Amino acid sequence: MQGASPRLTGFLLLAPALVFLIAFYLVPLGTMVEESLRSAPNDMDPRAGLHLFQYDRVWNSGRSWRALERTVRISAISTLLTLLVAYPIALFLFQVRAFWRTAILITIFVSLASSLIVRNYGWLVTLADAGPVNQLLLALGIADEPLRMVYSEGATIVALVHYALPFMILPIYGALTRIPPSFVEAAQSLGAGPWRALFGTVLPLSMPGIFGGTTLTFAICMSAFVTPLMLGSPATAMISQVAAEQFLVQLNFPFGSAMIVALTLVTFAILLAYTLLIRAVFRHHA
Amino acid sequence: MARLELDRVEVTLGGNRILHGVSLDVADGECVALLGPSGCGKTTTLRAIAGFTPVSAGEIRIAGRSVLGLPPHKRNLGLVFQDYALFPHMTVAQNIGYGLRMRGEDRASIAKQVAEALALVRLSDMAERYPARLSGGQRQRVALARALVIKPDILLLDEPLGALDRKLRDAMQVELKRIHREVGVTTIIVTHDQEEALSLADRVAVMFAGDIREVERPATLYARPKSRAVMDFLGEANLIPAEVTADGALRLPGGAEIPHGGAKPGLVRLGIRPEHMAILPAPGPGSIAACVTEIVFKGAHASLYAEGPAGLALSASLSPAALEAPPAIGETVHLRPDPAHLILFEEDPA
Amino acid sequence: MPDAKGFRIVVATLALLGLAFLVFPVIFTGVVAFGGSIFIEFPPQSLSLRWFENIGRINRIWDATITSLYIGLITAALATAMGAAAALALVRSPLPGKAMLTSLLLSPIALPIVAIGIALIQFFILLGMAFTWWSLVIGHLVLVIAYPVRTVAAALTLSNPSLEEAGASLGASPWQVFRTVTLPQMAPGLVSGFLFAFLISFDNYPISVFLVRGELTTLPIELFNYISQNLDPTPAAFSSAYVAVVAALILLAERRWRIISLSIPR
Q: Which domains does chain C have, with CATH numbers?
A: 5-262 (1.10.3720.10)
Assess contact for A170 and A108: CB atoms under 8 A. yes
- A240 reaches C (C-beta below 8 A): yes
Whole-number average pLDDT of chain A: 87
Q: What is the DSSP letter of B126?
A: G
The pTM (predicted TM-score) of the whole model is 0.84
Neighbours of chain C (3+ CB pairs under 8 A): A, B
Neighbours of chain B (3+ CB pairs under 8 A): A, C
Residue A71 pLDDT greater than 90, yes or no: yes
Q: What is the pLDDT of residues B160-199, one digit of tens each?
A: 887 778 888 888 888 888 888 888 899 999 998 888 888 8
Tell me what pLDDT residue A40 has: 59
- Residue A222 to residue B49: CA distance in whole angstroms: 57
When CB atoms are compared, the residue of A14, A131, A247 closest to C86 is: A14
Tell me what pLDDT residue C55 has: 86
Tell me what pLDDT residue A2 has: 41
Band the pLDDT of B245: cuts 50, 70, 90. Answer: confident
For chain A, give the secondary structure using H, E and C.
CCCCCHHHHHHHHHHHHHHHHHHHHHHHHHHHHHHHCCCCCCCCCHHHCCCCHHHHHHHHCHHHHHHHHHHHHHHHHHHHHHHHHHHHHHHHHHHCCHHHHHHHHHHHHHHHHCCHHHHHHHHHHHCCCCCHHHHHHHHCCCCCCCCCCCCCHHHHHHHHHHHHHHHHHHHHHHHHHCCCHHHHHHHHHCCCCHHHHHHHHHHHHCHHHHHHHHHHHHHHHHCCCHHHHHHCCHHHCCHHHHHHHHHHCCCCHHHHHHHHHHHHHHHHHHHHHHHHHHHHHCCCCC
Whole-number average pLDDT of chain B: 87
User: What burial class does residue C211 get, using C-beta atoms within 10 Å of its C-beta: 0-12 exposed, 13-18 middle, 19+ buried?
Assistant: buried
3-state secondary structure (DSSP) of residue B287: coil
More confident residue, C79 or A248: C79
- C168 reaches B (C-beta below 8 A): yes
Cα→Cα distances B325→B287, B295, B333, Å = 21, 12, 13
C90 and A14 in contact by Cβ < 8 A?
yes
Q: What is the mean pLDDT of residues C106-119?
A: 89
Tell me what pLDDT residue B169 has: 84
Question: Could you count the other beta carbons within 10 Å of the beta carbon of residue A40?
Answer: 13
CB pairs A-C closer than 8 Å: 298
- Residue C211 to residue A233: CA distance in whole angstroms: 24
Q: Rounded to a whole number, what is the distance in Å from the CA of B152 to chain C's nearest CA?
A: 9
Query: Which C residues 229-248 touch B at CB under 8 Å?
Result: none
Tell me what pLDDT residue A197 has: 78
CA-nearest residue to C121 within chain A is A28
Question: C1, C80, C158: which to substitute to probe chain A, counting the most A Cβ within 10 Å?
Answer: C1
Q: b/e per residue, B122-157, with b = 16+ CB within 10 A?
A: ebeebbeeebeebeebbbbbbbbbbbbbbebbbbbb
Band the pLDDT of C137: cuts 50, 70, 90. Answer: very high
- Residue B44 to residue B34: CA distance in whole angstroms: 11
Tell me what pLDDT residue B281 has: 80
Tell me what pLDDT residue A84 has: 97
Locate the domains of chain A by residue range.
Answer: 62-116+150-180+206-285
Residue A1 pLDDT greater than 50, yes or no: no
Contacts of C196 in chain A (CB under 8 A): 113
Q: Rounded to a whole number, what is the distance in Å from the CA of C48 to chain A's nearest CA?
A: 17
CB pairs B-C closer than 8 Å: 70
Structure-derived torsion over alpha carbons of residues A66, A72, A77, A80, reported in degrees to the nearest 10: 180
Band the pLDDT of B349: cuts 50, 70, 90. Answer: low
C169 and B89 in contact by Cβ < 8 A?
no
When CB atoms are compared, the residue of A6, A106, A219 closest to C94 is: A6
- Report ipTM for this prediction: 0.89
Tell me what pLDDT residue B337 has: 85
Residue B1 pLDDT greater than 70, yes or no: no
Cα→Cα distances A242→A151, A152, A159, A274, B75, Å = 16, 16, 19, 26, 66
Q: What is the mean pLDDT of residues A30-55?
A: 71
Contacts of B54 in chain A (CB under 8 A): none
Question: A14, A129, A199, A263: which to substitute to probe chain C, counting the most C Cβ within 10 Å?
Answer: A14
Q: What is the pLDDT of residues A142-200, one digit of tens each?
A: 888 888 899 999 999 999 999 999 999 999 999 998 888 788 777 777 777 778 778 87
A24 and C123 in contact by Cβ < 8 A?
yes
Q: What is the pLDDT of residues C28-40, one digit of tens each?
A: 998 988 888 887 7
- Beta-bridged to residue B60, according to DSSP, are B6
- Residue A284 to residue A279: CA distance in whole angstroms: 9
Tell me what pLDDT residue B60 has: 94
Contacts of A2 in chain B (CB under 8 A): 71-73
Cα→Cα distances B23→B45, B62, B200, B265, Å = 10, 14, 21, 34
Band the pLDDT of B97: cuts 50, 70, 90. Answer: very high
Contacts of B71 in chain A (CB under 8 A): 2
Residue C230 pLDDT greater than 80, yes or no: yes
CA-nearest residue to A27 within chain C is C123
Q: What is the pLDDT of residues A194-229, one digit of tens each?
A: 787 788 788 888 998 999 999 999 999 999 999 999
Band the pLDDT of A3: cuts 50, 70, 90. Answer: very low
φ, ψ of residue C49 in degrees (nearest 5): -105, 10
- C188 reaches A (C-beta below 8 A): no
Query: Which A residues 1-30 touch B at CB under 8 Å?
Result: 2
| Start-end of H helices in B13-154 | 42-50, 92-102, 107-120, 136-148
Contacts of A222 in chain C (CB under 8 A): 112
Tell me what pLDDT residue C49 has: 86
Alpha carbon distance, N-terminus to C-terminus of chain A: 34
Residue B147 pLDDT greater than 90, yes or no: yes
- Residue C55 to residue C52: CA distance in whole angstroms: 5
Contacts of C114 in chain A (CB under 8 A): 223, 225, 240, 243-244, 260
Tell me what pLDDT residue A17 has: 95
Tell me what pLDDT residue A43 has: 52
Query: Which C residues 166-185 touch A at CB under 8 Å?
Result: 168, 174, 177-178
Contacts of A117 in chain C (CB under 8 A): 203, 205, 220, 223-224, 227
C85 and A17 in contact by Cβ < 8 A?
yes
Ranking B68-72, B165-169, B262-266, C245-249 by mean pLDDT, the lowest is: B262-266
- B52 reaches C (C-beta below 8 A): yes
Task: Give the DSSP letter string of B209-255.
Answer: TTEEEEEE-HHHHHHS-SSHHHHHHSS--EEEEEEE-TTSEEEPTTS
Tell me what pLDDT residue C173 has: 92
Q: What is the pLDDT of residues A122-150, one digit of tens each?
A: 999 999 888 889 988 888 888 888 888 99
When CB atoms are compared, the residue of C169, C176, C184 closest to B50 is: C169
Band the pLDDT of B350: cuts 50, 70, 90. Answer: very low
Q: b/e per residue, A180-218, with b = 16+ CB within 10 A?
A: eeeebeebbeeebebeebbeebbeebbbbbbbbbbbbbb
Ranking A74-78, A117-121, B181-185 by mean pLDDT, the lowest is: B181-185
- Residue B269 to residue B342: CA distance in whole angstroms: 10
- Residue A143 to residue C246: CA distance in whole angstroms: 37
User: What burial class does residue C188 get, using C-beta atoms within 10 Å of its C-beta: 0-12 exposed, 13-18 middle, 19+ buried?
Assistant: buried
Residue B299 pLDDT greater than 80, yes or no: no
Band the pLDDT of C225: cuts 50, 70, 90. Answer: very high
Q: Rounded to a whole number, what is the distance in Å from the CA of C183 to chain B's nearest CA?
A: 11
Rounded to 5°, angle at Cα C166 from C160 and C171:
150
Contacts of B73 in chain C (CB under 8 A): 167-174, 176-177
Tell me what pLDDT residue B175 has: 86
Tell me what pLDDT residue A285 has: 60
Contacts of B52 in chain C (CB under 8 A): 165, 168
Band the pLDDT of B9: cuts 50, 70, 90. Answer: very high
Task: Give the DSSP letter string of chain C.
Answer: ----HHHHHHHHHHHHHHHHHHHHHHHHHHHHHTB-SSS--SS-SSB-SHHHHHGGGSTTHHHHHHHHHHHHHHHHHHHHHHHHHHHHHHHHS--TTHHHHHHHHHGGGTS-HHHHHHHHHHHHHHHT-TTSHHHHHHHHHHHHTHHHHHHHHHHHHHS-THHHHHHHHTT--HHHHIIIIIHHHHHHHHHHHHHHHHHHHHH--TTHHHH--TT---HHHHHHHHHHH--SSHHHHHHHHHHHHHHHHHHHHHHHH--GGGGS--
Residue B146 pLDDT greater than 60, yes or no: yes
Neighbours of chain A (3+ CB pairs under 8 A): B, C
Band the pLDDT of A39: cuts 50, 70, 90. Answer: low
3-state secondary structure (DSSP) of residue B181: helix
More confident residue, B114 or C96: B114
- A114 reaches C (C-beta below 8 A): yes
Query: Which A residues 198-217 touch C at CB under 8 Å?
Result: 198, 202, 209, 212
